[in-house]
Amino acid sequence: MQTPSSSSSKLKINWLTTTVLVVFHLGAVAALFMFDWKAVLVASFLYWLAIGCGIGMGYHRLLTHRSYKVPRFIEQFLAICGTLTLEGGPIFWVATHRLHHQNSDKPGDPHSPRDGAFWSHMGWIMLGESKHSDTRQMSRYTPDLSKDPFYRWLNSFHYVPLVILGLTLLAVGGVKMMMWGVFVRVVVGLHSTWLVNSATHMWGRRRFRTTDDSRNNWWVALLTFGEGWHNNHHAHPNSSRHGLAWYELDLTYVQIRLLELFGVARGVKVASVTEPAQERQVA
């Protein structure tokens, strides 16, 4: 994985990714001049569906860490929701995150703030084309997903669900609905998720003495339905619950717990430690 600390001379702009990001950001700005409350409400619902269900429940806690189990059709539905974020296919996302845990804030971490705040936030996805686009390298970290025809297809055509959603919103609600439900919602979701890579390794409280710089950040947790309790997560990566204290709101875990109560989710893993002895603020 090429990072500034490892091989800056080999970094180059990923023009496709960068162009798409620029277009979406411009679209999000344009949508601000097309304000409509109905469009905002639809976008908010889709934000929860994509980030809270697709990323938090699907890509992260289910596919990456296998912290719980659900029937296959629900797992596939959550993975499709994950593609609506424009964060790549499930194999790419899971491989990147597993690599992050393996080398967190060390050489080889795809997005450590030790290589720069901008790099950790979005520079890593715009620069370099090594393991991010190498199918063999991704398969090394995702043997469970790479052997599944559904995930191989979804990883290759991860943009299809978003295109279908955009066309549906355009047909049903017009341009305003599409602009808010796709462009604004995607851009806000991207930056919220990227804040887990950047902000939660720079600002917040460290409850556990992990070997990386992970922190618990309450405002990132609010934006991401619980993903901001990042120090807790790095200390207990296989736990489906990230908010380990009573005051740490973790809506993604609430959703998983509800599925468990209705007999849909099973094998739900939860860290046994809920109130560690000490917690300190780190600037």
Kindly state whether residue 60 falls inside one of the protein's structural domains: yes
Q: Flag whether 277 is in a domain.
A: no
Q: How far lies 96's CA from each of 102, 140, 254, 283, in Å?
A: 10, 11, 26, 27
Give the model's pLDDT for residue 3. 44
d(CA 230, CA 195): 11
- Domain assignment present for residue 161? The answer is yes
Is the pLDDT assigned to residue 274 strictly greater than 90? no
- For 85-96, the DSSP string reads TTS--HHHHHHH
Q: Is residue 275 part of a domain?
A: no
Give the gyration radius of the chain's Cα atoms. Answer: 18
229 within some domain: no
Share of the chain above pLDDT 70, in %: 90
- 169 located within any domain: yes
Mean pLDDT of 167-186: 98
Q: Which residues contact 123 (CB under 8 A, 6 or more apart)?
A: 116
Which domain does 132 fall in, by range?
A: 4-205
What is the rounded CA–CA span in Å between residue 229 and residue 231?
A: 6
Q: What is the mean pLDDT of the chain?
A: 92
Domain count, the chain: 1
Please give the DSSP secondary-structure letter assigned to residue 56.
I
Q: Is residue 210 part of a domain?
A: no
> Over 60: is that where the pLDDT of 17 sits?
yes
Distance of alpha carbon 138 from alpha carbon 239, whole angstroms:
23
- 51-79 burial, b at 16+ Cβ within 10 Å, e below that, comes to bbbbbbbbbbbbbbbebbebeeebbbebb
**Which tens digit of pLDDT belongs to each residue from 180-193?**
999 999 999 999 99
- Strand 204-206 and strand 280-282: the pairing is antiparallel
pLDDT in the model for residue 272:
83
Q: What is the dihedral of CA 245, 251, 252, 254, to 10 degrees?
A: 80
Secondary structure tally for the chain: helices H, strands E: 15, 2
How would you class 16 by CB atoms within 10 Å of its CB: exposed for 0-12, middle for 13-18, buried for 19 or more? Answer: exposed
Is 124 in a helix, a strand, or coil? helix
φ, ψ for residue 79, nearest 5 deg: -65, -40
pTM for the full predicted model:
0.92
Residue 260, pLDDT above cutoff 90: yes
Binned at pLDDT 50, 70 and 90, residue 134 comes out as low
Residue 251, in any domain of the structure = no
